[in-house]
Structure 1
Amino acid sequence: MPADLIHLVRHGEVENPEGVLYGRIPGFGLSRLGHRMASASADSLKAHGAPVRALVASPLQRTRESAAPWAEAFGLETAIDERLIEPTNRYEGRRGGFAKSVVRPAEWPWIVNPLKPSWGEAYVSIAARTLAAVDAAWRSIDDGDVVLVSHQLPIWMVHRSLLGQRLFHDPRRRRCSLSSITTLARRGDAFVEVDYREPAAALQAAAVDTGAV
């Protein structure tokens, strides 16, 4: 049999003192609090006796660092899957993003179609590649669970896809907090979401969650 459950885990708080949209820019690792959040996430499933047999992460620094406590807790090596990476975004390295483009005529083509969105990777592309990574992880082991450490938007695209919701959404309403765990199971020919938890909830009040695309 393939895997029992797939756990989509978001990274912890990122060290981002300038509050820029970091996207795929290298060098953005976890803050001290972010490391604590990642550990709280791993400890949560360990305490529940989850049979985690494989661990996969996005190639970015913050996700690889967030995977480290999982690797230690379950005695696993971290595999890398490019399909779990943060989407591209034309506003990388900036503060303000969309609002400032309104007054920059040269950037108007970036915001012409927010339903796609026109400023970065299309939502349908994000959903397709992340679901492909989920399916590959499900098939990668004979039993037990797999943990995939990724980013807010890829995880949210999976959530909305599985619920049959339109992919365009208000980013302020995403239910995917730092170091949260969104759990999927296979039912017949499709995946379904079966659980969502926030193991680092006690640390959220002190966290700064800016910079995600």
Structure 2
Amino acid sequence: MVGECARVSKERATMNQTTTVHVLRHGEVDNPTGVLYGRIPDFHLTALGRRMAARAAEYFAERPLALLVSSPMERAQETIAPIASLHPELKVHLDDDVTEAANAFEGQSFGPGHHPLRDPHNWKLLVNPVRPSWGEPYVDIAERMTRAILHAAEEVGPAGEALIVSHQLPIWIARCAAEGRRLPHDPRSRQCTLASVTSFGVLDGRIVRVDYAEPAIDLVPRKARKANISAGTGGQADRS
């Protein structure tokens, strides 16, 4: 009994010292043709995407955030804006380490009637799905995202909380790295919907816990919940 009490006490003490770095995916993007926008500028949130951002702000309203970080992409900055407005004492720091992954298919449409993967000119990009050959190496994404998460944890200190706004692939790769999963994966398997929150618990410079929440899931169109490219229409999207 004494041993069990000591174990519980130690676990509680550990939890009390764990820093939490929340990583939020941006909201729905105005992209009716389904372009793989990647790092292309001028892709903004739809009206529905702004509602998702507002929902995220509600979710974090009572959290003791001590640091705000965003990808430099407009959609990420627009997502963090309503959260920042609730924390006027905090400046939003832009960090290239949490930006979208580089991709050779950037600018090509994956919308209805468009099939870039069937184009023979693109086949050379598909030769190595493990690295992958079409974009930024998964190991590089994992390294920069983990660096950003650990830096944020160091900035806010033990038991503190930080928020980063990033993108689906970088967030998923960070989670895979933290959980010891293989980095190559089927994109359809990613658990990272629009405006979802993947939270990393950091203790003694290591990620020791990963949690996941979907505070805006009721706003995410069903057909977009497993999509890897946000293809909003600029207005209220059909949720069927």
TM-score by length of 2: 0.80
- The count of residues paired between Structure 1 and Structure 2 equals 209
Offset from partner CA, 1:133-155 (integer Å, 9 cap, x none): 11111111245211000000111
Q: Which moved more, 1:134-143 or 1:67-76?
A: 134-143
Shift of 1:41: 1.1
Structure 2 residue identity aligned to 1:71: A
Structure 1 Cα separation of the partners of residues 64 and 210 of structure 2: 16
Taking only aligned residues, the RMSD between alpha carbons, in angstroms, comes to 2.2
Give yes or no for the alignment of 1:30 onto 2:45.
Answer: yes
1:157 aligns with 2:173: yes
Q: Which amino acid aligns with 1:20?
A: V
- After TM superposition, the structure 1 = structure 2 runs for residues 72-91 of structure 1, keeping only pairs within 5 Å, are 72-75=85-88, 76-91=90-105
Whole-Å separation in 2 of the counterparts to 1:7 and 1:14: 21
Provide Cα deviations, 1:20-71, integer angstroms capped at 9, x if missing partner.
111001110111100110111121122xx31101100000000010010110
Instruction: Give the structure 2 partner of residue 6 of structure 1.
Output: 21
Please list every run of 5 or more consecutive structure 2 residues that lacks an aligned counterpart in the other structure. 1-16, 231-240
Name 2:237's counterpart in structure 1: none
Deviation at 1:74, TM superposition (A): 2.0
Deviation at 1:185, TM superposition (A): 1.0
Residue of structure 2 aligned with 1:62, choices 75, 89, 104: 75
Which residue of the partner structure matches residue 229 of structure 2? 211
Show the counterpart of 1:136: 151
Q: Distance in 2 between matches of 1:101 and 1:207?
A: 21
Q: Which runs of 5+ in 1 are unaligned?
A: none
For 1:116 and 1:169, locate their aligned partners in 2 and report how far apart those are by CA, in whole Å. 11
Q: Judge conservation of contact 1:84–1:133 (CA < 8 Å) in 2.
A: yes
Q: Which segment is superposed worse, 203-212 or 61-70?
A: 203-212
What amino acid is the match of 1:16? N
Q: State the distance in 2 between where 1:146 and 1:111 align.
A: 37
Cα distance in 2 for partners of 1:193, 1:3 equals: 9
- Partners of 2:34 and 2:110 within 8 A in 1: no
**Structure 2 counterpart of 1:138, one-letter code:** A
- Partners of 1:131 and 1:43 in 2: CA distance: 26
Say whether the 8 Å CA contact 1:21–1:93 is kept in structure 2.
yes
Alpha-carbon deviation of 1:17?
1.2
Distance, in Å, in 1 between the alignment partners of 2:80 and 2:65 is: 13
Q: CA deviation at 1:210?
A: 5.2
Query: Which residue is 1:169 aligned to?
Result: 185
- Read off the aligned partner of 2:103 and give its amino acid letter: N
- Contact persistence 1:12–1:66 (CA under 8 A): yes
| 1:19 aligned partner | 34
Q: Secondary structure at the match of 1:69?
A: helix
Contact 1:9 1:147 in 2 (8 A): yes
Q: Give the number of the structure whose alpha-carbon radius of gyration is greater.
A: 2
1:115 and 2:136 are equivalent in the alignment: no
Q: How many angstroms apart in 2 are the aligned matches of 1:82 and 1:189?
A: 21
> What secondary structure, in the 3-state scheme, does the structure 1 residue paired with 2:48 have?
helix
Q: From the superposition, tell whether residues 206 and 35 of structure 1 become closer, same or farther in structure 2 (CA, over 3 Å).
A: farther
